[in-house]
Amino acid sequence: MKVGLALGVVVLCIGGGILIFCFVEELNWVDSVYLSVMSVTTVGYGDRAFKTLSGRLFASIWLLFSTMAVGRAFLYLAEARIDKRQRRIVKWVLQRDITVQDLLAADVNNNGFIRFESLTLISSTN
C-alpha cells in the first residue's frame, strides 16, 4: 500500500513537470517527458534546463519535493522486501520443532535473549 502510494506521488511529480515544461517552458511533449523523468530521477544530463523565471521558481520547489518522493518510494520498496523476507523466516522457524539446544545455540551473546538475525542459526544446529 505504501509503495503504491509513493509511486503514485512520483508519477504525479513527473506529470506536474511535464505540464510545466509544455506550457511554461514551451517544450514539445516528448522533450517534456524526457526532461521531467531525467529531473525527477536526478539523472540530469544537463542538456536542457529551465529558461523562464517562473519555470526556475517552480523547479526549485518541484525538484526538492520530487527527489524526496523518489527517495521515499525506494525506501518503502526496500522495507516491503525486508518485511516479506522476515515474515518468511518467522514462518519457517515457527514450523520447526525447536529444542532447548537450538535456543541456546541461537543466543550468540549468552545474554538470555535471541535476536531476530539469530533465528537462522537454529537451522544450522540440526
Greater pLDDT, 66 or 115: 66
Convert the pLDDT of each residue in 33-59 to its tens digit.
988 888 888 777 777 777 888 888 988
Band of pLDDT at residue 111, cut at 50, 70 and 90:
confident
Length of the chain: 126
Interatomic CA distance for residues 76 and 56, integer angstroms: 30
Residue with cell 511535464: 18
- Across all residues in the chain, what is the average pLDDT? 83
Domain 2-81 has CATH 1.10.287.70: yes
Q: Where are the domains of the chain?
A: 2-81
Convert the pLDDT of each residue in 64-86 to its tens digit.
999 999 999 999 999 999 999 88
Q: Which amino acid is at 102?
A: D
